[in-house]
Chains A and B, each alone.
Chain A
């Protein structure tokens, strides 16, 4: 059975079509893997019966020659996505037990393409966090371990997704990225994660964190797998007013196209204090790989980068404070009764929301308050436009940008949870793309001296995911990243 888990998505599709393996076998292997790695706490709900029923249907479609793009491929779903008839909680106590009567557009697209739903994956509560430590279900654990064998965070907020793909308890997984919540955990777990252009994937049916920044994207083991999954996920959706009608490029075909003649920008502002030297070394290595593959490397400047993080931590909480107002105990989810309506709101929200969520609601409420709005929210929006302007200018010169994905490798569980400001710094390289609405991909580039994965990030023009896949494909090949995590299903360790 271990052989099944070795297959990446493209290989598994091939084996399924050749009837070398069945969808039921593959799904059974992944359900077993999820059980075997339960200690990583990356699943919050495993839907084994549902998965096996879907797999049986997939096998029928494969037999009848009607296989979809993702036919028979087992997929884990971040708990932020609403899945019909299956508990969807955003890993918050306030939604514990909530079972939506509807399916998010993105997951509906995956199932329509033949994907097999394995279960719901752990994440930071309402996607607020960078280590998957704010989840009401407890932290998800990174399958990678350092020399000291201490439990590491998988990153966040899509920590469960990255952990599961790395641990091979999901062949692929969905994530959402508001400030780096796909790219940072992908880098921490040594997998590939794409945040598409804002508007590329529908937000309908995804629990909202910050509406103007949220974007769903795929986690996979390889770049080619990622392009495959992304092709199935993306769609124009009339139910999301911010969804694009721009046609989707040929992403699958782009992966092997190389970077010959491409201009790649290296932004000088992506060097910060306290950054691991190994991160800088990898970044330089990445530049060399691309140069060797025929790209022209160009130094560029994104002068407003340093304002991105503060602007993000105003805009995202502002939107969140309003988006989370609906969790009021009236219609669904948790309710703590009290004598008055206001009392019920206070008791319910105090009990239902964790500390980080409450912190961001407070910040967001503050920055939108009369007398503070102009100084914070309005100014942050101006900064946002300047950051967008920086990228627009850079993309006049270059086709894509190469940066580190994170300033460090994964850190131990519990190390940063009590220091919110340091925690926020995890997002320093990823946040600008969200503010500007640009696509970004994280690709594993190598390991630290402690044996932990590090990622490179490629940023591109709006709706030009194809270029990201071309660059990522070259990086992946050059890196030859074959190291596997210690706590992997069916693994040696």
Chain B
């Protein structure tokens, strides 16, 4: 049994006694959802082992854990996507065994996924109708969408095409899709990863309004500060097991992080560096979008010096991928738009740019930075061919390539049986360490990384950030594109934000406030704040 906690501890009252009989009495009501002793195994992995937790109406309950801790498996079971091997769930005291999402929805469970399932070419109302068992007429539905969006402070026009919406607005579509079904439990999977600070505020106000109405929210995240400000209780998972529960407001972010990781880890050390010459310069870079829903790059100019870390923030889909492709050479631009150490390279392809020392790590690990079904040795050849001389007279030197892969594995603490493992078999964090290490060990002049710690566990993220800082200390120019503002603040000397394919003015990070960053990122896309 876990110690019972008040459903809504008052954050103002820090001295709130934790375990008194008085509080026990407030807990006579049945929990909305009780999960008891749930276990789910996959071949070779125990995803959930004897997980128990209670979720009460009107609370925001955080589910904390590193990647691979079993958070997704647990919520998928609640949402009826997978079935537990043993253990059970109760909803309002009655057995709850959803065999498919439809059953879970009927029981009042709604879920907003991390990756949206929306059709770009359809309107908001059409997208919502697609998810419904028995959709009403478009006109009625549009009216209902408008009602719900106003009631909960989520401004959204039902007639707009989803392809034109920002990530924050797309998320609103998913939330409204759930709210239309009057859920009693709303599951949110890392909802703020795609939002600006202002959009996060709007979302939090909506969530608080929902809990005031008695809706329970199961909130998955690894952003600890955000959990501390929003959630009443937190359950922490590690390697599939519940390792603790806490009241986030009464715990420090560091305490929670250490519970997640199971050990303490060092924060990256950043030292002042002397900046060298300009290593990479982008001049008035403009590129049309590569596909219908891509982002055009508009007149982007910046320069990075040796030894400097430039952080580029912005909400996803504002030109990050396009900028990386233009720098890596996957998309060619005019000759003079990109300069490396003073030489124009805008017209060169990826291999030629690598030869000159411009190395990149794209966001997507599987399928872009690495080939999923190929071994780590083969993946080492993907970008190491030029600088590590892995190809000679047209023939791949597999022995050298294997030693290179082993070197990456050893130096970057990649947990894997060996260089023959397929990239797909590695966890996100380990594969990310591998693809970052692959570039770092090629002695770059300029390294550009996109979302270096996306979906990576805390310990691996710390190691990756440290590697980037070490590289800068050695006089490499580093550009870090990320949506994690904490990370950018921690790493970068200067900060700029991408918004609709434009780059804001670059500012020194030490002097920036969160509000300023929000404005640089384009605010909440011209939206008014919620009126709740």
> Does A pair with B?
no
Q: Which residues of A contact B (CB under 8 A)?
A: none
Q: Which residues of B contact A (CB under 8 A)?
A: none
